[in-house]
Amino acid sequence: MTERRFVRIQTELPGPKSAAVLKKKESYVAAPLSTYAPFIIKESKGALIEDLDGNRFIDFTGGWGCLAVGQRNDRVVTALHEQLDRFLHTDFTAVPYTPFVELAEMLCERTLIDGERKAAFFNSGAEAVENAVKIARAYTRRKAILVFDNAFHGRTLLAMTMTHKANPYKIGFGPFAPEVYRLPYPNVYRNGVTAKEIEERMLSLVNPSDVAVMVVEPVIGEGGFLVPPDWFLPAMRELAD
């Protein structure tokens, strides 16, 4: 991409080359894997994506969140090439490697938690949520899970149960996992829910002595990009304690 500073649309969307691939997709890719962009990517750089037909777009998806420094960031590309020159892949539980330990150390040092901290890495958000619940249940020997309105936690069985929206995530996939209890999430635009009201809802749903874990998004994403008031997370920390 030699010209990187402008958007360019030079065909109908999808263009003929993208349309051919999208048509093939309908024959060979499972139907639930629907796509949002009406084109097929050819290359990318920074905040721009170019498709097979030479159209250029601004990338507002960022790989759904994992490209915070943009497409093909120079430092990231260099690091990837250096790693490929050393080795490609092992399972850490079989043959451990240094960057895994270094990343765990970095995260633990930056996590605002008192006491001992350890990290683990998983393949997806849903897998991370499921394992967090497993760890909490094993440690506390309790079963109940507290989640919040508008939450999205993933598409595996337990994570889907913890997710709020039925449509499009849960229709036709029940029965769902037990011991999941939903609390109101404060929305400064839509409601004035208080910490006291959240606590009262919890007490009406479950015995606190049965609660293993509270899972909360610091900022609601899929459920509407909701930033909670400043009191919310400290109050939930106090409630959990």
| Strand boundaries in the chain, DSSP class E | 41-45, 48-51, 56-58, 144-148, 180-183, 211-214
pLDDT tens figures, 132-190: 999 999 999 999 999 999 999 999 999 999 999 898 889 999 899 999 999 999 988 88
**Which among 68-72, 87-91, 199-203 has the top mean pLDDT?**
199-203
The answer to whether the beta carbons of residues 241 and 200 sit under 8 Å apart is no
pLDDT tens figures, 189-234: 887 899 999 999 999 999 999 999 999 999 998 888 899 999 999 9
Distance, in Å, from the CA atom of 210 to the CA atom of 84, rounded to the nearest integer, reads 47
Q: Amino acid identity, residue 7?
A: V
Buried b (16+ CB within 10 A) or exposed e, 180-194: bbbbebbbeeeeebe
Q: What are the distances in angstroms from CA 173 to CA 3, 49, 142, 152, 176?
A: 46, 35, 26, 16, 8
Domain range summary for the chain, segments of one domain joined by +:
16-72, 123-240
| CATH number at 123-240 | 3.40.640.10
* Cis-peptide, bond into residue 229, ω within 30° of zero: no
Q: Which CATH superfamily is domain 16-72 in?
A: Aspartate Aminotransferase, domain 1 (3.90.1150.10)
- Bridge-based pairing state of the strands 144-148 and 180-183: parallel
Q: What is the DSSP string of 51-81?
A: ETTS-EEE--SHHHHT-TT-BT-HHHHHHHH
Average pLDDT of the chain? 93
